[in-house]
Amino acid sequence: MDPAPPSRRSWAEPFKIKVVEPVRLVSPELRLTAIREAGYNTFLLRSQDVYIDLLTDSGTSAMSDRQWAGMMLGDEAYAGSRNFYHLEETVRSVYGYQHLIPTHQGRGAEHIISRVLIKPGNIIPGNMYFTTTRLHQELAGGSFIDVIIPEAHDPASEHPFKGNVDLGKLEAVIGEYGASRIPYVSIAATVNMAGGQPISLENLRAVRELTRGHGIRVILDATRVAENAYFIQQREPGQQGRTIAEIVRETCSLTDGCTMSAKKDALVNIGGFLAVNDWDIFEEARNIVVIYEGLHTYGGMAGRDMEAVAIGLEESVDDEHIRARVGQVLYLGEKLRAWGIPIVLPIGGHGIFLDAKAFLPHLDQSVYPAQALAAAIYLDSGVRTMERGIVSAGRDKDTGLEYRPKLELVRVTIPRRVYTQAHMDVVAESILAVYQERSNVRGLRMVYEPRYLRFFQARFEPLG
């Protein structure tokens, strides 16, 4: 008898594998030693002690054969490298911004735009903070105010665009502080800290309208703008017939410039840039970049890196690529969801976010449940994930008190084009194993706290 036909046809990655890098299982004894030595912080593990590395999608993607070929075309001139001009041309055609300032990675661009636009006492509203973005705003003398819709702070809300700005809140912030104290609105697409959640075109158009009326700029964090475009294409009424490239172009056209960590969407291991339309901002940024990053035609990147970014940017807006990329994240998320494991919904673009408060209801936020859960997953299987909760949120710069974010999450982040479906199965089964033994997971005590971005280097010990 013929087997029953599947209810829907499978899809597969739009690539085949040309080079492989071995990964190895890590023994339980070694995992215990390694996590103790790492102070229960997955950022402090050595990568050789990791089996499947889902710490981040940043700089961890696999480059294509075209990108590797491009690396050989690196023009390593100090000034005016041909790869810079190729990148500039590509940013103009893919994103539409006129002026490009390369930087070593995203935070380099954040530093520069913050220095150029923010004056002490300024207010920067945005759709949820990102760690480095907010810190650079604060170091420039500004204060960040979260104006994301409330649904974004609720892991169970299935709002299709949890990255949207609450327009009423934004208007109230403008009313309270006055437009002259607001240099720009900071818009992320997608919103990393909310779980890789998108902002809709409709909402961004409304933000543009509102800010235009007050003469306030909009600066986009374009780090995952192609993934954002995929969700717009899938979910936003009237957008189904459009390509990812068209949606990305329109998204950028609704803003005045962007900061970019090319280590995500753009499929490279290092690189970033600032891109703006306004000549005056460009001029000032070009002045500052030479102090902190490098000459304005390389900004901390080698010629070969700029070439890889240029090619990667084009690949990032390919419809087949982005469908497979987000599709792999959905595959893992659907599996966990079917087993009743609490995750942030809807499933986001770059990873699965475990809801540590619901996963470990016996742990108060003060004992760092998400940090403890990330360590427990590593102990189970050698799979590395990371905390996105109270440790990442840090402290209020004025009161010194710990923020207590509503979202206490573990991010299971998927690098692009790196792991297979079988790896996703192994990851899902490890998370399930920890879920079944969740009552045994103990809280943590922080024993070392760095001054800035503490989640990277903080150390912990288990309680009890």
> Is 131 designated active site?
yes
List, in sequence order, every beta strand (DSSP E) within 237-334: 257-261, 272-276
For ligand F0G, the closer of residues 268 and 332 by Cβ is 268
- Distance, in Å, from the CA atom of 385 to the CA atom of 205, rounded to the nearest integer, reads 35
Two tokens, residue 183: 């240099």
Kindly list the strands in the beta sheet with 386-388, ordered across the sheet, starting from the edge strand earlier in the chain.
Answer: 351-355, 409-413, 386-388
Under rule CB under 6 A, which residues in 72-131 are in contact with ligand F0G? 105-107, 130
Given the structure tokens 């329109």, which residue do they identify? Answer: 250
Phi-psi region of 215 (alpha: psi -120 to 50; beta: other; left: phi over 0): left
- Applying the rule CB under 6 A, the residues between 249 and 278 that interact with ligand F0G are 261, 263, 272
CA-derived radius of gyration, the chain? 22
455 is catalytic: yes
* Residue whose CB is nearest to ligand F0G in the complex, by number: 106
Smallest separation, CB 361 to ligand F0G (Å) = 27
Q: Among residues 301 and 434, whose Cβ is nearest to ligand F0G?
A: 301
Question: What backbone phi and psi angles, to 5 degrees, belong to 198?
Answer: -85, 160
| 230 alpha-carbon distance from chain centroid | 15
Angle at 334 between CA 328 and CA 337, to 5 degrees: 145
* Least distance CB 112 / ligand F0G (angstroms): 12
Contact 87, 309 (CB under 8 A): yes
Of 56 and 211, nearer to ligand F0G (C-beta) is: 56
Tell which one of 41, 58, 239, 381 touches ligand F0G (CB under 6 A).
Answer: 58
In the set 41, 56, 61, 90, which binds ligand F0G (CB under 6 A)? 56
- Identified catalytic residue from 51, 129, 435, 455: 455
Concerning whether 51 is annotated as a catalytic residue, the answer is no
By rule CB under 6 A, what count of residues binds ligand F0G? 15
Toward ligand F0G, which CB reaches closer, 40 or 130? Answer: 130
Q: Is 132 marked active-site? A: no
Cβ atoms within 10 Å, residue 365 = 18
Residues 166-205 touching ligand F0G, rule: CB under 6 A, are 188, 192
321: contact with ligand F0G by CB under 6 A: no
User: Of 49, 57, 166, 221, which one is the catalytic site residue?
Assistant: 221
Q: Where are the beta strands (DSSP E) in 210-301?
A: 217-221, 257-261, 272-276
Least distance from ligand F0G to the Cβ atom of residue 15, Å: 23
Between 42 and 122, name the residue whose CB sits nearer to ligand F0G.
42
Q: Which is nearer to ligand F0G, 188 or 252 (CB)?
A: 188
Contacts with ligand F0G in 128-147 (CB under 6 A)? 130, 132-133
**What are the φ/ψ torsions at residue 237 (nearest 5 degrees)?**
-55, 135
Cα angle at 117 between 141 and 119, to 5 degrees?
30
Residue 55 CB, shortest distance to ligand F0G, in Å, is: 7
- Contact yes or no for 462/444 (Cβ under 8 A): yes
Sheet strands (E) in 167-236: 184-188, 217-221
Distance of closest approach, residue 115 Cβ to ligand F0G, in angstroms: 15
Find the shortest distance in angstroms from Cβ 27 to ligand F0G. Answer: 27
CA distance 454 to 41: 11
- Looking up tokens 């360590």, which residue turns up? 375
Q: Catalytic: 353?
A: no
- How far, in Å, are 8, 59, 178, 215, 293 from residue 119 at the CA level? 55, 32, 14, 16, 21
Nearer to ligand F0G by Cβ, of 165 and 174: the residue is 165
Backbone φ and ψ of 276, nearest 5°: -140, 165
CB of 110 to ligand F0G, least distance (A): 6
The CB-of-441 to ligand F0G minimum distance in angstroms stands at 23
Considering the complex, state which of residue 134 and residue 357 has its C-beta at the smaller distance from ligand F0G.
134
Site for ligand F0G, rule CB under 6 A:
56, 58, 105-107, 130, 132-133, 188, 192, 221, 223, 261, 263, 272
Residues catalogued as catalytic: 78, 130-131, 221, 264, 388, 455
